[in-house]
Structure 1
Amino acid sequence: MATAPKKKQTNNFSKFIKWFWILFTTGILAVVFIFLAASWGWFGELPTFERLENPQTNLATEIISSDGETLGKYYLDDNRTPIPFDELPKNLVDALVATEDARYFEHSGVDARGTIRAFAYLGSKGGASTISQQLAKQLFTGTAARGWERYTQKIKEWVIATRLERQYTKEEIIAMYFNIYDFGNNADGIRSAAKIYFSKEPKELNVSESAMLVGMFKNSSLYNPLPKRNPVGTKNRRDVVLAQMAKYEYIDEKLKDSLQKTPLALRYSPESHSDGLATYFRMHLQKFLNDWISKNPKPALKGERDKWNIYLDGLKVYTTIDSRMQKNAEDAVKEHMKRLQAEFFNQNTPDRNKTAPFLDISSDEINGILERAMKVSDRWRIMKSNGKSEKEIRASFKKPTPMVVFDWNSVGNEKDTLMTPLDSIRYYKSFLRTAMMSMEPQTGHVKAWVGGLNYKHFQYDNVIQGARQAGSTFKPFVYAAAIDQLRLSPCDQFPDDEYCIEPGKHGNIDAWCPKNSDGKFSLKNMSLKQALAGSVNSVTAQLMDKVGPRTVVNMAKNMGISAEIPEVPSIALGTPDVNVYEMVGAFGTFANEGVYVKPVLVTRIEDKNGTVLYEYVPETKDVLSKDVAFAMVDLLRGVVEGGSGGRLRGSYNKNNYLYKEIITGYPYNLNNPIAGKTGTTQNNSDGWFMGMVPNLVTGVWVGGEERATHFKSIAYGQGASMALPIWGLYMTKNYANKEIGVSDGNFKSPANMSINLDCSKVREEDRANSKPAEDDLDDIDF
């Protein structure tokens, strides 16, 4: 009787062991089956091997300057530029591991200890998602689901995480994780986040900055450091990350305590298409890329796009722009144009000019300008597309509306105001516009490009979209044709006297008898060098008569001018409309020993993996002999040494009101060899300066959007006052930075120069008669 219970107890224990192993084995098999089912796609499609190898994320196209700086990016929703692991600082990686996955380097995608802890405590002591699982969620499973779907999603994340661990190294996974995350405020990925929040590259981030960015992984919408969002919460979260780093001994307690007392120290630099450096260049470059894409199909995998997309494919575009020179150019434009505009407003107040900002036109003509501007405005287009009647649209232009307008004197050059849209059109018409481009003549590499005052408010790119009368900057084409065809020398002399081209001699035209800018003739002989320096129209007319308009047109065309140029004698004085882009390329021919090189914007395009997709091939053309080109350089040096360009030397009266008020930076005291040409058109509507040193050619144009917007006086409206100061400021800034390498030496002379440049035998009295007086001003071409 005593042994029966013992036997029963033993049988019960054996059954318990049996059922334990049955349940345990069933559980293991169930888990294995669940994972197998997930891998077979029963819970939804899993990424293929190809997708694991090439995860599809939207990557911004990066625009890179010749000196290695990021000029900007093209993106739609994702401003993402991936970087490799070796560009991540150690403190950033340490902060991530300490906060998100302390055993990251010990597991294979799934943290068993963390998972058991999460089940045991129902998540109250932290979750179990590893960095690999979080990456799987970001890349392939998306936003967290709810209910049963969340469990199946979690299982898929486990499977994908283990596959990622087999496909990539630990370091590559961390890099992908940093690159994929959205840090808010267009900061997609760590590269954009470091630039936008701290104006740094990721490798330059310190411990505190790294901790803040890692803290944002918890919820970048909640932990947003901007002043109007949640800076206090973001700092508290950063301090938690610092505490985790101390807990796992990545930093010591003393450093943790010290850093927790510091502010976030943001250097917020938002990135958008209308902000930053080289905005006009970037917008023009976009057209270049779209044209390239249309001619170059993408070798895509199955199911991918067959065309490159500059907003999604993460291209790297290596440009010729030098970020330092670009900044110098933009700063020079801002410095001069702000002061020039102030003087223009001063001279065009309503009490001084009732038709301001327009001069010398009727009320009907002004109404016509405003009418055209209304009909091409976004307001007109949008209201018309929404079915509004013309009466309603016109009424809206007379209704006061809150708006943000450009203003030189306000913070950020913007001010809030209330005005009617029609008044805002007139307001913007009152601003003088500008364009500037700088190019290395030997390579054609464009080093700086400024298409206007402010891209956000003035989107018309005057470098390449705007074509305006060239004025006297066109005269060098006439002189080049004459020296090339007639083998003239800069020392050859012509009389400064009235000269008429007979009617019908060069086409079906009337007699042409141009006058000099002051309406007078010296009746003296002068050399070509003196005539170009003084921009003497009578001598230019004689050269045009000798070579003929067709020869001059062919010369301009061979030097890259594509505009329609009529074959008439008056083109000698700059009547054709040309743009800054082509004028810089043309003048580069003189500095490059007679070889025209088409301006280059892009040297190379790579895909996201570094594969080269495009490399530029220079487009060149032999136009002039070295002798003729150097003779032209010598002629153009005369403009700076003894003509209107002499202001660059500081040879004009610096106490003159004009210089004190608007000529910023004067005197420039640039005493190195410089060749150049000023230009001014009828009514002072356009002011030009083309300036050259041996390895840099730069063109500047200034004028109103409407030709009726101009200075009344030539003292202010000539090229030497409107455009030349920008060149002077720009070059002064370039020379201040020796690393840029802008030449201050002599132009290269041909080994066997056959054209005489020694004009020492020119009579002294002739030289005196042709040299401009101190306050003599540049020409107007009629």
Structure 2
Amino acid sequence: MKFKLKRSWLKWFFGIIGSGFLLLLLFWFSVYVGLWGKLPSKENLADIKQAEASILLDANEKLLGKYFIFDRQMVHYEDLPKHLVNALVATEDARFYEHGGVDYTSLFRVLFKSILLQDDSAGGGSTISQQLVKNLYGRPSHGWFTMPVNKIKEMIVAKRIEAVYSKKDILTLYLNTVPFSENTFGIESTSQKFFSTSTRNLSLSQAATLVGSLKASHSYNPRLFPERSQLRRDVVLQQMAVNGYIDETLQKKTNSEPLEINYRIFKHDDGMAAYFREKVRLDVVKILDSIKGPGGKTYDLYKDGLKIQTTLDIDMQRYAENAMQQHLEKLQKQFEDSYGSNAPWLKNEDLVTSRIQELDLYKALKKQKYSEAKIMDSLNTKGQYKLFRWEGDTIVNCTVIDSIKHGLQFLNTGFIALQPQTGAIKAYIGGIDYEYYKYDHVYKAKRQVGSTFKPIVYTAAIENGMDACSYLPVKAMTYTNEKDWKPTNSGTAETDEHLNYSLEYGLSNSVNTIAVKVLEEVGIAKTIAQAEKMGISSELPKVPSLALGTAELSLLELASAYTSYVNNGRASVPFYITKIKDKNGNIIYAPEAKAALPEAFSEETRQIMVEMMKATVNKGTAQRLRSTYGLQNDLAGKTGTTQNNKDGWFVGVSPNLVMATWVGNDEHRIGFKSTGLGQGANSALPMVALFLKQMNGDSKFNAITQAKFENPSEAVIAALDCDPEKRDGFLKRLFTKERDQKEFDEADKKDEDKGFFSFLKKKD
């Protein structure tokens, strides 16, 4: 009887075991045939395509930034240091080279320890190949069956991957797709982010740190938790020693090294050249719309791993951003101090109200029929807001209105450096901080350019036959046919009825009354025509105040016009993208080189203008380049300041680089408190000066910083051989009655007969 019971019990036992095994087999088969989702075939696996970040490179192929959904950048096996591969294998899959995708020994060990011994330290039992499957295809949810279904899928697909790819290929695929900290995918992007280096240059310590973080990417993030990350690094080094990849001496030596990261941000809003990267992004998206790849394929900037090479120089960009921050931080304090408690962002209620009414939140509440009082109550409710400060961003408990007032006080800027011979953009700053002020002041913003327009007026005059040593009276004049407009100068010189300045002195010292009389002499129409020849495409006002820079131009447009002075009289066309390659290195876009515009003026005119603008730097309004900043470079240039000190400008010209900068407030109703603070020589010029000082200390830029202007011709020297000023002779003072007012009579409207005393305008 006992024997029968025992047989019956065994029968039931083996029946249950057999049934369980059969159920497991059927379950496995259901996954295999795709009842839980189709599995990739070997053919599918042979053509794995993963979203890959596109990279932006400077002129020397240094990394400027990336465009991505997932920050992933592919590398080849040859780019993987041996110690990186060894660290990965030793830590994640010690039997990697022995199994065929599934390590059954490790799997049974994990099952035994986890299920029977309840030991959580047994690990997961997944091989690198299985983890690769997880990286590639994720783990879809199947309710209670999620874990077993996905584990079986990974085992099946891992075996297929091993049949398709070599061990080297699997390691490369894994390291290219594995997720690290902070939404960063793949070893190359992670190396660049945490250590600012390429994968091939990772040290043993750096490689062990990154491999160690794979166990828990957030918990072992080397930026957030350096001590914890270093301890995990040491565990990886220990595993490498246990598995024979390094000896004990090297392990101890590396253990003793402090964990040092060199973190780089690749968020689009942050990092170097943010405005430039956004400009390139906008243009590349348009370019890709017109390009078809093999089989009519369209390219995706965020997924296709493109390589976009530009003209920017990362070192020049760094110097420009350093100069901008150094100068604007100091200028901002002076700007705020000059207003004190009477600042317009504090006292001008109409100004603040108008900015409130521009808010999307205000418009949305207004659309919902909220009363003005309720809207203002809502905007006066305090909350946590992140605000820009030069000393560092900060979270402040304030109202929306407070944040508006805070934002209104900041000066903004734009800076551009162009290679005049080609138009290549070498440095580009669109504003003080892209995260807070996204409006680009290089190509979008158009502001009155002030006296930086005067060289164009003088160029037109000389090109149309005006003697470079012509003398014009400095005395201010009221133009009765222009609503009694009376342009004036700073200082007292204009009160001298008999004082005359040469063209060179008038330009180098930015004398307004002289500029207007030069414009009157050459004519508005001819001046506008000259500007257009120099590449100015914006509509210019046909008024006498054009001479003083009431035209609104973009910084890029103005800088481009100035390139003509050091490019044989031809304005170069700015450009910044040189080529785009696909992920395999094939060039898919290479724009044709843009030829400079036709000659805008003669060589003699060009040399005369360069000499005049050199005088501006050496003894005129831009002389603080020499006196304050001690620059000895060959330089020409022009400062500019607009009415009520709203805008400060400076364009610096060297033989091989044109630099232009603007400083002002985005709110047109807020200007500098005084001319001394807001004039271009003080508000804009220092940025160029600080930029050049850094370049002077870098020998790689000697070709720019040590370049010399050519010697002017004898004819040009003779044309400029005159005193800067002269007083009217006795006869003229005796027989000519000085007028205080007249009609503005531009040259192209005059009769050819200029009158009997026209010779008095000529050089003695």
Q: TM-score range by the shorter chain?
A: 0.7 to 0.9
In structure 1, the gaps of 5 or more residues are 1-26, 651-666, 768-782
Query: 2:604 matched to 1:630?
Result: no
Query: Aligned-pair distance for 1:453?
Result: 1.8
Residues 118 and 126 in structure 1, CA contact (< 8 A), matched pair in contact too? yes
CA distance in 1, matches of 2:146, 2:450: 73
Query: 2:389 matched to 1:407?
Result: yes
Residues 401 and 420 in structure 1, CA contact (< 8 A), matched pair in contact too? yes
Structure 2 counterpart of 1:641: 618
**Alpha-carbon spacing, 1:195–1:294, altered in 2? closer, same or farther (3 Å):** same
The amino acid of 2:167's aligned partner reads K
Structure 1 counterpart of 2:429: 450
| Counterparts of residues 417-566 of structure 1 (less than 5 Å) | 417-486=396-465, 488=466, 490=468, 492-498=469-475, 514-518=487-491, 520-521=493-494, 523-566=498-541
Deviations 1:335-378 (A, max 9, x none): 1111111112222112xxx35458xxxx7xx3332222112235
Residues 416 and 659 in structure 2, CA contact (< 8 A), matched pair in contact too? yes
Secondary structure in structure 2 of the residue aligned to 1:690: strand
CA distance in 2, matches of 1:549, 1:765: 26
CA distance in 2, matches of 1:145, 1:235: 37
CA distance in 2, matches of 1:236, 1:649: 55
Residues 676 and 689 in structure 1, CA contact (< 8 A), matched pair in contact too? yes
The amino acid of 1:81's aligned partner reads Q
**Alpha-carbon spacing, 1:88–1:599, altered in 2? closer, same or farther (3 Å):** same
Q: TM-score scaled by structure 2? A: 0.83
Query: 2:173 matched to 1:176?
Result: yes
Query: 2:574 matched to 1:599?
Result: yes
Query: Aligned-pair distance for 1:727?
Result: 0.8
Secondary structure in structure 1 of the residue aligned to 2:415: strand
Secondary structure in structure 1 of the residue aligned to 2:527: helix
Structure 2 counterpart of 1:65: 58
Q: 2:316 aligns with which of 322, 325, 330?
A: 325
**Alpha-carbon spacing, 1:186–1:42, altered in 2? closer, same or farther (3 Å):** closer
Query: Aligned-pair distance for 1:90?
Result: 1.9
Residues 192 and 264 in structure 2, CA contact (< 8 A), matched pair in contact too? yes
Query: 2:330 matched to 1:370?
Result: no
| Counterparts of residues 117-196 of structure 1 (less than 5 Å) | 128-142=125-139, 150-196=147-193
CA distance in 2, matches of 1:669, 1:43: 75
Query: Aligned-pair distance for 1:285?
Result: 2.1
Residues 136 and 160 in structure 1, CA contact (< 8 A), matched pair in contact too? yes
Deviations 1:301-350 (A, max 9, x none): 8xxxx643322222222122111111111111111111111112222112
Secondary structure in structure 1 of the residue aligned to 2:387: strand
The amino acid of 1:595's aligned partner reads R
Structure 1 counterpart of 2:634: 673
CA distance in 1, matches of 2:485, 2:369: 54
Aligned length: 698
**Alpha-carbon spacing, 1:169–1:766, altered in 2? closer, same or farther (3 Å):** farther
Query: 2:73 matched to 1:81?
Result: yes
Deviations 1:475-520 (A, max 9, x none): 111112222232x454x2222244769777xxxx557653334364
Q: TM-score scaled by structure 1? A: 0.81
Query: Aligned-pair distance for 1:763?
Result: 3.6
Residues 179 and 186 in structure 2, CA contact (< 8 A), matched pair in contact too? yes
CA distance in 1, matches of 2:399, 2:36: 60
Residues 505 and 725 in structure 2, CA contact (< 8 A), matched pair in contact too? no
**Alpha-carbon spacing, 1:386–1:573, altered in 2? closer, same or farther (3 Å):** same
Deviations 1:99-135 (A, max 9, x none): 2223434454444655566677778766553322221
Secondary structure in structure 2 of the residue aligned to 1:83: coil
**Alpha-carbon spacing, 1:176–1:556, altered in 2? closer, same or farther (3 Å):** farther
Secondary structure in structure 1 of the residue aligned to 2:233: helix
Structure 2 counterpart of 1:104: 96
Bigger Cα displacement from structure 2, 37-46 vs 246-255: 37-46
Residues 329 and 448 in structure 1, CA contact (< 8 A), matched pair in contact too? yes
Residues 489 and 756 in structure 1, CA contact (< 8 A), matched pair in contact too? no
Structure 1 counterpart of 2:692: 731
Query: Aligned-pair distance for 1:587?
Result: 0.8
Q: 1:277 aligns with which of 267, 272, 281?
A: 272
Query: Aligned-pair distance for 1:571?
Result: 0.7
Deviations 1:442-493 (A, max 9, x none): 121111111222222222222222211111100111112222232x454x22
**Alpha-carbon spacing, 1:470–1:241, altered in 2? closer, same or farther (3 Å):** same
CA distance in 1, matches of 2:408, 2:248: 62
Deviations 1:221-242 (A, max 9, x none): 4433444xx5555444322211
Query: 2:376 matched to 1:394?
Result: yes
The amino acid of 1:629's aligned partner reads R
**Alpha-carbon spacing, 1:519–1:142, altered in 2? closer, same or farther (3 Å):** farther
Residues 548 and 569 in structure 1, CA contact (< 8 A), matched pair in contact too? no
Secondary structure in structure 2 of the residue aligned to 1:447: strand
CA distance in 1, matches of 2:368, 2:88: 50
The amino acid of 1:452's aligned partner reads G
CA distance in 2, matches of 1:468, 1:542: 24
**Alpha-carbon spacing, 1:355–1:763, altered in 2? closer, same or farther (3 Å):** closer
Residues 208 and 259 in structure 1, CA contact (< 8 A), matched pair in contact too? yes
**Alpha-carbon spacing, 1:647–1:766, altered in 2? closer, same or farther (3 Å):** farther
Query: 2:722 matched to 1:762?
Result: yes
Residues 640 and 646 in structure 1, CA contact (< 8 A), matched pair in contact too? yes
Residues 79 and 187 in structure 1, CA contact (< 8 A), matched pair in contact too? yes
CA distance in 2, matches of 1:636, 1:53: 65
The amino acid of 1:674's aligned partner reads L
Secondary structure in structure 1 of the residue aligned to 2:571: strand
The amino acid of 1:737's aligned partner reads D
The amino acid of 2:553's aligned partner reads V
Residues 62 and 73 in structure 1, CA contact (< 8 A), matched pair in contact too? yes
Query: 2:699 matched to 1:720?
Result: no
Deviations 1:46-78 (A, max 9, x none): 3356643442322222221223322222233x1
Deviations 1:531-564 (A, max 9, x none): 2111123332233223321222222233232322
| Counterparts of residues 657-668 of structure 1 (less than 5 Å) | 667-668=628-629
CA distance in 1, matches of 2:541, 2:150: 72
The amino acid of 1:186's aligned partner reads N
Deviations 1:208-228 (A, max 9, x none): 22112112222324433444x
Residues 182 and 189 in structure 1, CA contact (< 8 A), matched pair in contact too? yes
**Alpha-carbon spacing, 1:311–1:690, altered in 2? closer, same or farther (3 Å):** same
Query: 2:238 matched to 1:243?
Result: yes
Residues 474 and 513 in structure 2, CA contact (< 8 A), matched pair in contact too? yes
Residues 648 and 668 in structure 1, CA contact (< 8 A), matched pair in contact too? yes
CA distance in 1, matches of 2:234, 2:140: 27
Bigger Cα displacement from structure 2, 695-704 vs 123-132: 123-132
CA distance in 1, matches of 2:660, 2:183: 35
Secondary structure in structure 1 of the residue aligned to 2:623: helix
Structure 1 counterpart of 2:4: none
Percent of aligned pairs with the same amino acid: 35
Q: 1:52 aligns with which of 41, 45, 58?
A: 45
CA distance in 1, matches of 2:139, 2:583: 23
Query: Aligned-pair distance for 1:35?
Result: 9.6
After superposition, the CA RMSD in angstroms is 3.3
The amino acid of 2:171's aligned partner reads I
Query: Aligned-pair distance for 1:636?
Result: 1.3
Bigger Cα displacement from structure 2, 522-531 vs 692-701: 522-531
CA distance in 2, matches of 1:56, 1:393: 51
